[in-house]
Structure 1
Amino acid sequence: MTRVASIPLQNTMASAIQRAQADLAVTQQRISTGKKALDYADLGSVAPRILSAHAMLARADAHAATGDQVSTTLSIYDASMSTIDTATGSLRQTLMQAIGTGQTTGLQAAIEGAFHSYRTSLNASERGVALFGGGQTLDTPFKVDQLANLIGTTPATVFTNDQVKATAEVAEGQQIQYGLLASDVGNDLFLAFRSLAEAGTFGTTPTAAQSAKMNEALTYLDSGLTQLRTAQADNGLRLQQIDTLTQRAQDRSLLWQDIVSKNEDADLAQVAIDLTRQQMVLEASYSIFAKLSKLSLNDYL
């Protein structure tokens, strides 16, 4: 039976179906990816702006991550110096009491304990790298492990750190030097411990030579604690500065994320509406095409 529907009409309907299918495929893709476009070419004229936003976002994230890492390092510095301060401050009190009373019972144990805390803290590490070592990583910053071995030593023979202080960029074009060196933090305290080591083992009552070394050590302890506390105060100021810059970097990151999201991310609520509408259009197109295909002269005779 000859059909009434013409080939041009069928071609028109077939083209409409293909367009509806293509539109639906794009919408389904947006739902699955959550993005407006597959690549930057599809974004058209806004692509350069989005690429620039991505670059700025990456820099802000890098600065924030660096700030977090430096903040952790500075916190470990602070904890290490606090440990040294507590140990040597306590030793100072014990030493003053011994000098005042002329009795040194328990002094040797106090010296040994404070030295252990001092040495361990100066050799603190983060991810296997000595924090107070500067740029060198082969040796521990303070290499003497026994109090008695301090006799006859000098700062040059006990401190193995170099003079390289760590720096980091935590803001655009802003380098912060934050590294601390064992010799800068603990030099005078080392001299105090060396004086006590040279005094020999303390018993109940000190000798005249030991008393002289105790007074010498007390002088070094005072200057050493001042040296330590100055370094710790500077470290605290740097920590505050780093935390402020890190927060700013995180704020910039959120700003750039919002800019990127507005230009790249699909409006899923609108996409869902479009999906429903396009499915209805496609189903209607199928239905109309099917009806046109079935038309014949019998429908009009």
Structure 2
Amino acid sequence: MRVTQSMLSNNMLNNLSRNYQNLGKYMNQLSTGKQINRPSDDPVIAMKGMNYRSQVTHVEQYSRNLGEVHNWLDNTDSALDKVQMTLERLRELAVQGANGTYEEGQRGNMASEVRQMADHIVDIANTKVNNKFIFNGTATTGRDGDPPYEVDADGNLLHPLNTERVMIEVSDGTKINVNTPSDSVFNADLFKDLVDFAKTLESGDDDEAIAAFIDKIDTHIDNNVNARADLGARQNRIELIENRILDQEIAAKDMMSKNEDADIEEVIMNLTQQEVVHRAALSAGARIIQPTLLDFLR
């Protein structure tokens, strides 16, 4: 086959073009730290990268959901702890009030404290976290933004409560109930009993009538303790799920890194080798292009 000067020049230029492309590829890998910069560079790596990135996004969303779960449970536990202290103080007042040594004026002072405690429990029941009422089931906005718990002078709740469970997904196919049902602690009997307790103290009834509220308050204390025990069990489960999600996130990011990230040492070595090849190609090309007929006629 006849080889012309033009063919040699074209081959040389094509080789130089490929060298430039390789240099550009390694320079891009070095500057971005990634093996590819567009899907066409390596469709297999690109497809795997999309799958790994989707998995990472999925797991990160569950991590954010777990943060929301912690927010619900921690604030609920804090609120129920305050309820516990308030109920224990109310029980102390019931024991004191049932003691026949207290005069009518002293019992009146106790009644005032009981009413203040009852109002305090209403405030706790209307606890808001991130602008959501946490003790009103799925109706977290209340009644058009108004508190869900309102009590009349006789201790009756003025509005029906939402007792549905608030569920948050924390992993594939796993949802956690994050709220404490409104009727488990803040039920209608609680507020009615507290108002009746205050009225009994004010009325000057006998000690037995006052002592009857000790058992009633004990019942509400038990309800609160049971609610906190259930809450603690959910918190323990969340910790186990959180550890598993963290492991999944680390594994997914590691796989994504191995798939996409360039080996910098290898890239530098390839770039150095390509520079040597490129300089050699330029040197050889210069020898091919320079000679012309005039060079031989000199």
TM-score class, shorter-chain normalisation, is 0.7 to 0.9
Question: In the alignment, what sits opposite 1:184?
Answer: 184
**Could you tell me which amino acid in structure 2 is paired with residue 217 of structure 1?**
F
Identity %: 21
Alignment of 1:1-301 (within 5 A): 6-45=5-44, 47-100=46-99, 101-103=101-103, 104=106, 106-136=109-139, 137-139=141-143, 140-144=147-151, 149-151=152-154, 153-154=155-156, 157-158=157-158, 160-187=160-187, 188-199=189-200, 202=202, 207-208=204-205, 211=207, 214-295=210-291, 298=295
Report the secondary structure of 1:199's partner residue.
helix
Deviation, structure 1 residue 213: 5.4
Please give the alpha-carbon distance, in whole angstroms, between the structure 1 residues aligned to 2:131 and 2:51: 37
**Could you tell me which amino acid in structure 2 is paired with residue 164 of structure 1?**
E
Deviation, structure 1 residue 195: 1.2
The 8 Å contact of residues 135 and 164 in structure 1, kept in 2 or not, is answered as: yes
**Could you tell me which amino acid in structure 1 is paired with residue 58 of structure 2?**
R
Instruction: After superposition, give the CA deviation of every residue in 1:150-209 in whole Å (9 maximum; x if it has no partner).
Output: 31x43xx34542121101221221222232233221224323312134337x5xxx7126
Deviation, structure 1 residue 234: 0.1
TM-score normalized with structure 1 length: 0.83
Q: CA RMSD in A?
A: 2.7
Please give the alpha-carbon distance, in whole angstroms, between the structure 2 residues aligned to 1:71 and 1:291: 73
Instruction: Give the number of aligned pairs.
Output: 285
Structure 1: runs of 5+ lacking an equivalent: none
Please give the alpha-carbon distance, in whole angstroms, between the structure 1 residues aligned to 2:61 and 2:209: 52
Instruction: After superposition, give the CA deviation of every residue in 1:16-44 in whole Å (9 maximum; x if it has no partner).
Output: 11111111111222223322122444334
**Could you tell me which amino acid in structure 2 is paired with residue 177 of structure 1?**
N
Please give the alpha-carbon distance, in whole angstroms, between the structure 2 residues aligned to 1:280 and 1:225: 82
The 8 Å contact of residues 133 and 142 in structure 2, kept in 1 or not, is answered as: no
**Could you tell me which amino acid in structure 1 is paired with residue 193 of structure 2?**
A
Report the secondary structure of 1:107's partner residue.
helix
Report the secondary structure of 1:138's partner residue.
coil
Report the secondary structure of 1:176's partner residue.
strand
TM-score normalized with structure 2 length: 0.84
The 8 Å contact of residues 83 and 117 in structure 1, kept in 2 or not, is answered as: no
